[in-house]
Chain A
Amino acid sequence: MPEASEAPIPDQRVRPDERAPIIRAPDPDTTGPALAAGGNAAIARMLQRSPSGAGAINDLPRLAGNAQVARFVVQRDADVDAPPAPGGVGAPPAPGATVGAHGEEIRDAQLKLSRVQASAQPLTEDGRYGPLTEAAVRTFQASVGITPPTGVLDAATKARLDAAYAALPPPVRTELKFGATGPDVGFAQQKLNAVGYKPRLVINAVFDGSMLMAVMMYEVGTLKRFPFGTVDAAMWTALDAGVSGGFIAPEGAGATPVEQSTPSGTADALGTQVPGTSLHPVVGVGGLTKGPAVKELQQKLNTAGASPALKDDGVFGPLTTAALQAFQSGRTPPLPANATADKATWDALDKVAPGSMVGAVDRQWTEVLGGATYQLTGADASRYSWEIQKTRMLVTVKVNFVGLPPPGAWFGYVPAVWNRYMGVETATKKSMPIDFQMIRGAGGDAMTVEVKPGTDRANAGEWYAGDARAAQTIPHEYGHLIGLQDEYQLHPGDYVRVTGHEPPVGDAAGPGVPAATIAANLRAAMMARNSANARTASVGAGVKAGAFAQQVVQEYAKLPAATVPAVAAVPGPPPVPGQPAVPLTGDLMADLNNSLPNDIDRYETIQRFGYTSGSIMGDPGRVKDPHEHGAQPRHIAEFVAILGRALGGTWEAKLR
């Protein structure tokens, strides 16, 4: 949940550069190939030859036929020659921005003020010019001789800040060879993943056979050189030019070390859609007969050539019925002319009419957190609508509140968190605020939420009237209502997919206990169903989230199969339910989840081996991140894409 605006957040990650990320589809498979078993024969031969030998050169075309190399070749063409792009995006700041100002340029200034260590602590990059930002501007002005220091981000101050940021030294990189360990190894792994190496490397900060393969592929495919298997200065230069982030920078006056996150692929913050389901609700006979979904249908039928053209009034009347039947029967092969816009009909309509000015979504989705699966499907599916109006896009969730009436304040908490962005068309700079609202209502296009008395922990369908943290809880749960998944205790592949960042390197060194020992101790704790022992073996041993923890995950996966015996219920306290026998799968988080009691010891143990964001959909109570505060652009990406389909052009999310 979000913290107070601009709250200082030490010791966390940062996203330094907002250049457009390299577009690569993330691969959830994190099992890297072992060189000995899966090494490319051509590479092996080349390693035995002179770097300048004709044989090596002759082998390059063969390597270029390798899909992996081909990706790197494309990568080079697209990215390596591009100049590094420090700094932010968007229009230059308004003259004299000061307390109360907001927007992308303020966020950019916050980023830079932290990096040039003008702020007392790393600033929360929320794009809101508050007293901490003002103090940092004042400090910066004094440090560069701007007198008197006004705390106003005027043009002169902005220019000096940009210059100071541009003058920051690049990260110091070490040459890496097979067998190397440490954070730089992890950062190189991040970047190799980000530029498209597959299967994805585990971010374990160990230069192993899998990484060696990736390095050599990159050398051949991108650097066009003999594969030495070394991440040297030239390769670091190319990797750093191609992918931002991937180093630790001091931030704020206290030089708080903050890991700079590495963008990777295109974030998809939505829950995983249930295969075979449609994102459209069923409309017409047997389905919705009024509202935004009908309006969308009418608009798309018109685009598809309905004659006479329909009035898009959102009412499924005789004319709409006839037009729908005509569309259905006009397909090749024809669809059943049943006047029901089902998945097949919507699929056909979307092909001929991808855009509309209004729409409704019925999203069936699942998520896996900490090894457990959750879902919003069937009657609980996420249902919401959107409309592109003259001056804004409005996203609406209609909620059928049952039980107690919802407190009025809840309806204000949603826009307070979610109404932070606008879509901006990159060429024309046309902008469109994207507003979110929660309204009461009933019917087939409404979600049901039960409002209960008391103060228990809310979930996506049960909210508590006395929730003292409702200002954070309700916007988080609202995120689920618009199809967003949670962002805590994620597997590495899910973390990349959801956030568009590589998993952080975090703690690469570990506590000095071999990863295999910790894995074995965890296995023993699971066999005994003892969560306290699991916590002692991990948290207690000094394991922190990050690269070393992933070494434990890998060592655990190597352990022989086993089954945890069934146990009877324990009355406690605390009580523990009876559990059936659990076959261990080798997936550490899933096995911890399935074998141990659901208590704090288990939760904190799992927390060490997964990844969590600090955004509104993450767990900001445990993971504070100055650059992942509240709603993020990825959370509204679906609606930005809709703007593009409806209005044309390329749209992106910007802070207002």
Chain B
Amino acid sequence: MILRLVIADGSQSPAVAESVEVADDGALTGWRSVSDGGVGWFAGHLPPAELAEVQALVAAAGAEAPRVQPRPDSAEQVLELPATGPVAIAGIRDGADGWPALAAASRRLLGRLTDFPRAAVAVLDGGPDVARLVHRGTDPLRLDLATIAVRATGWRGYYEPAGDWSGVVRGPGEVEAGAGWTYDLPLGPVAGDTVHLTADFAILSGPTRVPVRAKHTPAIPPPTQQ
């Protein structure tokens, strides 16, 4: 293992519980509970150049991490390196050198993780008044879809609120989602040029039921500078 980052925040529901780990050979694995690129398990390999970059940042960071308390309302972020063990990094801002650079790279890896779905479910815009759950990856996973809390937020222009809709969909209960699986969720009308979606349900892992939030939040281009 080269590094492992865990971000957790139990103040909100579903709780944020994200992890990414890079192995010596560049294998990238992790779990996302609240994510745009899907929720569930992810696994892949970093290209050699990216792996070398991570290795260089770890080597340059040094064994002594700065002790910086996080800003108010921050989530917990724990980065674990073989040389240091677990280190709280929520207070370390992104930077160009040393631990700030390593912290920034580690956080980016969480986003990178979603490029490698193994057994995950994402929510997408399924057309007018439909949010669509879709399976991502190669492996199946079990879901608890007894109730799915859905929220749609409409935006016009550059993040100008245009309206929102939320509701609870009574789903089919426990299902196994595999390759090609989809499930459509009806939405109420939402105004706006861009619609953001969230769907709250649960992933079943053995006896454990993990509440998750799949998100679809396409970026809105900033207004052109005059």
* Tally of B interface residues using CB under 8 Å: 55
Q: When chains A and B are docked, how far (Å) is the Cα of A625 from the Cα of B135?
A: 43
Cβ B203 vs Cβ A573 within 8 A: yes
Interface residue? A602 (CB, 8 A):
yes
Cβ A486 vs Cβ B73 within 8 A: yes
Cβ B19 vs Cβ A459 within 8 A: no
Given contacts A407-B158, A459-B73, contact A599 B86 (CB under 8 A): no
Cβ B73 vs Cβ A577 within 8 A: no
Tell me the nearest residue of chain A to B17, going by C-beta.
A574
CB contacts under 8 Å to B, within A539-583, are: 569, 571-580
**Contact code string A345-380 (vs B, CB < 8 Å = 1, else 0):** 000000000000000000000110100011111001
Max chain A Cβ within 10 angstroms of own Cβ: one of B80, B86, B161: B86
Given contacts A457-B16, A468-B164, A598-B9, contact A405 B73 (CB under 8 A): no
Cβ B86 vs Cβ A577 within 8 A: yes
Tell me the nearest residue of chain A to B152, going by C-beta.
A468
Interface residue? B118 (CB, 8 A):
no
Which interface class (under 10, 10 to 19, 20 to 34, 35 or more) fits A? Answer: 35 or more
- Please give, as numbers and ranges, the residues of chain B lying within 8 Å of A575 by CB-CB distance: 6, 8, 17-19, 30-31
What is the distance, in angstroms, from B184's C-beta to the closest C-beta of chain A? Answer: 22
- Please give, as numbers and ranges, the residues of chain A lying within 8 Å of B151 by CB-CB distance: 468
- The answer, among A369, A375, A580, A604, for a CB contact under 8 Å with B91, is A375
What is the distance, in angstroms, from A89's C-beta to the closest C-beta of chain B? Answer: 32
Q: When chains A and B are docked, how far (Å) is the Cα of A496 from the Cα of B126?
A: 51
What is the distance, in angstroms, from B46's C-beta to the closest C-beta of chain A? Answer: 18
CB contacts under 8 Å to A, within B21-48, are: 21, 30-31, 33-34, 36, 41
What is the distance, in angstroms, from B80's C-beta to the closest C-beta of chain A? Answer: 5
- Please give, as numbers and ranges, the residues of chain B lying within 8 Å of A624 by CB-CB distance: none
Cβ A580 vs Cβ B71 within 8 A: no
Interface residue? A61 (CB, 8 A):
no
CB contacts under 8 Å to B, within A153-175, are: none
Q: When chains A and B are docked, how far (Å) is the Cα of A477 from the Cα of B158?
A: 21
**Contact code string B185-226 (vs A, CB < 8 Å = 1, else 0):** 000000000001010000101001010000101011011000
Cβ B71 vs Cβ A375 within 8 A: yes
CB contacts under 8 Å to B, within A453-483, are: 453-462, 465-466, 468, 470-471, 476-477, 480
Q: When chains A and B are docked, how far (Å) is the Cα of A465 from the Cα of B219?
A: 9
- Please give, as numbers and ranges, the residues of chain A lying within 8 Å of B33 by CB-CB distance: 573-574
Max chain B Cβ within 10 angstroms of own Cβ: one of A377, A455, A465, A573: A573
What is the distance, in angstroms, from B71's C-beta to the closest C-beta of chain A? Answer: 4
Offer 24 A-B interface pairs, CB within 8 angstroms, sorted by A. Answer: A374-B70, A375-B72, A404-B222, A405-B158, A407-B159, A408-B158, A454-B215, A455-B215, A456-B34, A459-B73, A460-B71, A460-B72, A465-B219, A465-B220, A466-B153, A468-B161, A569-B6, A572-B19, A573-B203, A573-B208, A575-B8, A598-B15, A600-B14, A603-B11
Q: Which residues of A contact B (CB under 8 A)?
A: 366-367, 369, 373-377, 380, 404-405, 407-409, 453-462, 465-466, 468, 470-471, 476-477, 480, 485-486, 531, 569, 571-580, 597-604
Known A-B contacts: A366-B69, A486-B72. Give 9 more (CB < 8 A).
A376-B72, A458-B73, A461-B71, A569-B6, A576-B8, A578-B85, A599-B17, A600-B10, A600-B14
